[in-house]
Amino acid sequence: MSKKTDTKPAGNKLNYGRTVLIGFGFMGCMLLWSVYNSYVPVILRGKLTTVFAGGGAFASFINDHTWLAWLTVPLIVNAIMTIDNIFGVIFQPFFGKKSDRTNSKLGKRMPYIIVCLPICALFFCFIPVAATIKAVGLSILLMMTVVICFNFTMSIWRSPVVSLMPDFTPSELQSDANAVINIMGGIGQMIGFVVGTIAAAIVGLFGFSHMSAALKAPTNDLGQILTDSGDLLLDAAGNPQYVNYTPIFVVTAVISVLCLVVLTIFYIRNKKYDLSADVVLTTETEGGKEKKIKIKNLPISKEEKRSLIIMLIALFLINNATEAIVPNFTNFANSTLHVPPIYSTLMMAVFAVSLAAFGIPAGVMGRKLGRKKTIIIGLSVIVAMFAVYLTVSQILPPAADGSVNKFTWVTLWVALVVGGAAIGCININTLPLVLTIGGREYVGTFTGYYYTATFSAAVTGPLLCGLVIGLFKEDYNFMFMFCAIMFALGLAVITQVKHGETHEISEEEIKQAQMADD
């Protein structure tokens, strides 16, 4: 296990201004992810639906082989959206360790960030550009190429940008610093949720009123623009017009590069405070490889091992649900609510604000009621909210325009607000529960177990949810059914956990473990 030794004077007070400036890197990262997860599924769905409905060679092959009926558009879209998680598991740890051993005039982390963030932003801009190509097959091929390049370059600089905060912050102050970094990341997400509206306003100011109106216009499932009367908007040649999301991606990329400029100026002026130059790394090895501890060899009781395994299974089930929501919500809002993506992202912002606002109360509940009870309360509430919404949406008739009626709308808004708070109860208390089972000496080992379960779910969750949506004729309401079932299974499993309630793990150690996923 790697160990760090700070050799510079630590001080006893966090420099909040310096920490905020460090957070600009993480803010740019979360901004890119926020827009990527909101708009790329919409673009992919339109392209792939065209392929499936176009009667080409691929569509004919699928239709001629009934055993491939499970291969639906939602499943393929969700499979593509797991690329970032797969790359994260494979490449992020590698480049994180590589940056630990880098030595340059710009320190250990900045070379990766300075080189790769602009390249990443450039690939990001080309995603919607590739989607504008009329030849569907070529368009999808180019899109996939750009998406893969974007995800790979992101996986190079994401770990280094997260490591900047510990590099500039003594260990005893990293809990407070991590809170600041998470706030900066949250600001990045919030900008991502509203950047569609910002981009529409900007292109309108520059005289591109047609493009601005298209970003705000309702669309069908293919991303084709609809008129106020619900008919397709056609160009002069009589062809349907599609929404061009390029302005949103360009504005996002520009903001992320501006974040890099702020971060670079900060580093050049403050590199004397970089503690990483004096960090000594030592690694416990076994047979020439980094030592890994298996669960069966842990020096804890049989009952504690059982609780650990049960908790990891519960985490896997719970995160299958949470990871399925993000890549499917904009398509759900578009097809079911008839809400354009730039407005559906505002709905996700409400969910995110509710989750963030309930973070501190969820921690208090965990201390006073117990972590397990607080998690059970959160799971019970969100299962109930999702089940109520799904029931209401299936029973009540749609509105005159084909979207959901007002009562269903109200139910959804309540589910988003209350559901965000419920997820807060779950997320805040699961990692501390796992760490406490292992005890203070095995914080690193148990953090690894925790993120193995959650990262695995980040891959399987979208795939399974896409399969369910496809089986129900691409009715995205059934995303809530999938999530409710997974949450319910997680609830049933977690009731069998019998350990993890003591508070021998400090808040600082918990915060440092949480940084492993940032």
Q: Which residue range is the domain that position 53 belongs to?
A: 15-281
State residue 2's pLDDT score.
42
Give me the residues paired with residue 240 across strands.
Answer: 234
What's the pLDDT score for residue 450?
79
130 vs 356, residue with greater confidence: 130
Average pLDDT over residues 478-494: 94
**Average pLDDT in the 474-498 region?**
92
Q: What is the three-class DSSP state of 225?
A: strand
List, as one string, the DSSP characters of 114-178: HHHHHHHHHHHHHHHHHHT-SSHHHHHHHHHHHHHHHHHHHHHHHHHHHHHHHHHS-GGGHHHHH
More confident residue, 516 or 294: 294
Is there a single domain that holds both residue 410 and residue 364? yes
**pLDDT at position 285, please?**
46
Higher pLDDT, 53 or 133: 133
Axis-axis angle for helices 110-131, 136-168 (nearest 10)? 160
For residue 239, give the DSSP letter: P
Cβ–Cβ < 8 Å for 493, 313? yes
d(CA 39, CA 219): 13
The residues with which 224 forms a beta bridge, in sequence order, are 242
pLDDT over threshold 60, residue 516: no
Looking at the fold, whether 243 and 375 belong to one and the same domain comes out as no
**Domain-ending residue, one of 249, 281, 313:** 281
State how far Cα 327 lies from the chain centre: 9
Specify the pLDDT at position 5: 43
Residue with structure tokens 């499979």? Answer: 79
**Could you tell me if residue 289 is inside a domain?**
no
Distances from the Cα of 169 to the Cαs of 99, 184, 199, 369, 506, in angstroms? 17, 16, 36, 33, 18
Shared-domain flag, residues 404 and 314: yes
pLDDT of residue 515: 61
**CA nearest neighbour of 106 among 149, 150, 155, 157:** 157
pLDDT at 281 over 60: no
Residue 213 near residue 11, CB atoms below 8 Å? no
Residues 309, 228 share a domain: no
Task: Return the C-alpha torsion angle 299, 300, 306, 312, nearest 10.
Answer: -80
Per-residue model confidence (pLDDT) at position 174: 65
The residue among 504 and 44 whose pLDDT is bigger is: 44
Spatial separation of the C-alpha atoms in residues 251 and 243, rounded to whole Å: 16
* CB neighbour list of residue 485: distance below 8 Å, 6 or more residues apart: none
Task: Looking at the structure, tell me whether residues 496 and 409 fall in a common domain.
Answer: yes
- Is the domain of 501 the same as that of 445? yes
Query: Do 177 and 89 fall within a single domain?
Result: yes
Question: Full-prediction pTM beyond 0.75?
Answer: yes
Which parts of 206-245 fold into alpha helices (H)? 209-216
Examine the pLDDT at 282 and tell me if it is beyond 50.
no
182 domain residue, yes or no: yes
Mean pLDDT of the chain: 82
Q: Looking at residue 291, what is its pLDDT?
A: 54
Burial of 12 per CB tally in 10 Å (0-12, 13-18, 19+): exposed
Q: Which of 135-149, 401-415, 490-504 shows the highest mean pLDDT?
A: 135-149
Claim to verify: residue 65 and residue 214 sit in the same structural domain: yes
Counted domains in the chain? 2
Domain boundary among 247, 281, 315: 281
Rounded to whole angstroms, the Cα distance separating 324 from 337 reads 18
- Fill in the DSSP letter of residue 240: B
Largest CA distance in the chain: 74
Distance between alpha carbon 239 and the CA centroid of its chain, in Å? 36
On whether residue 9 sits in a domain, the answer given is no
Given a cut of 60, whether residue 237 has pLDDT beyond it is yes
Residues 200 and 216: beta-carbon distance below 8 Å: yes
Residue 274 has a pLDDT of: 79
Q: How confident is the model at residue 54 (pLDDT cuts 50, 70, 90)?
A: low
Q: What is the pLDDT of residue 67?
A: 64
> What burial letters (b/e) apply to 140-177, b meaning 16+ CB within 10 Å?
bebbeebbebbbbbbbbbbbbbbbbbbbbbbeebbbeb
Secondary structure (3-state) at 282: coil
Quick check: is 44 in a domain?
Answer: yes
- 125: domain CATH number is 1.20.1250
Q: What is the pLDDT of residues 436-453, one digit of tens each?
A: 776 655 665 676 777 788
Please give the pLDDT value at position 87: 87
* Lowest-confidence region among 90-94, 478-482, 486-490: 90-94
Q: Is residue 286 domain-resident?
A: no
Is residue 340 located within the same domain as residue 274?
no
Residue 306, in any domain of the structure:
yes
**What pLDDT digit, counting tens, does each position of 449-465 carry?**
777 888 889 899 999 99
Percent of the chain with pLDDT over 90: 30
C-beta atoms surrounding 257 within 10 Å: 15
CATH number, domain containing residue 408:
1.20.1250.20
Asked if residue 327 and residue 269 are part of one domain, the reply reads: no
Q: At what angle do helices 406-438 and 507-514 cross, to 10 degrees?
A: 120
Q: With cut-offs at 50, 70 and 90, classify the pLDDT of residue 8.
A: very low
**pLDDT for residue 338 is more than 70:** yes
Do 151 and 76 sit in the same domain of this protein? yes
Answer with the one of 281, 310, 343 that is the final residue of a domain. 281
Instruction: Say what the pLDDT of residue 242 is.
Output: 83
Same domain, 354 and 309: yes
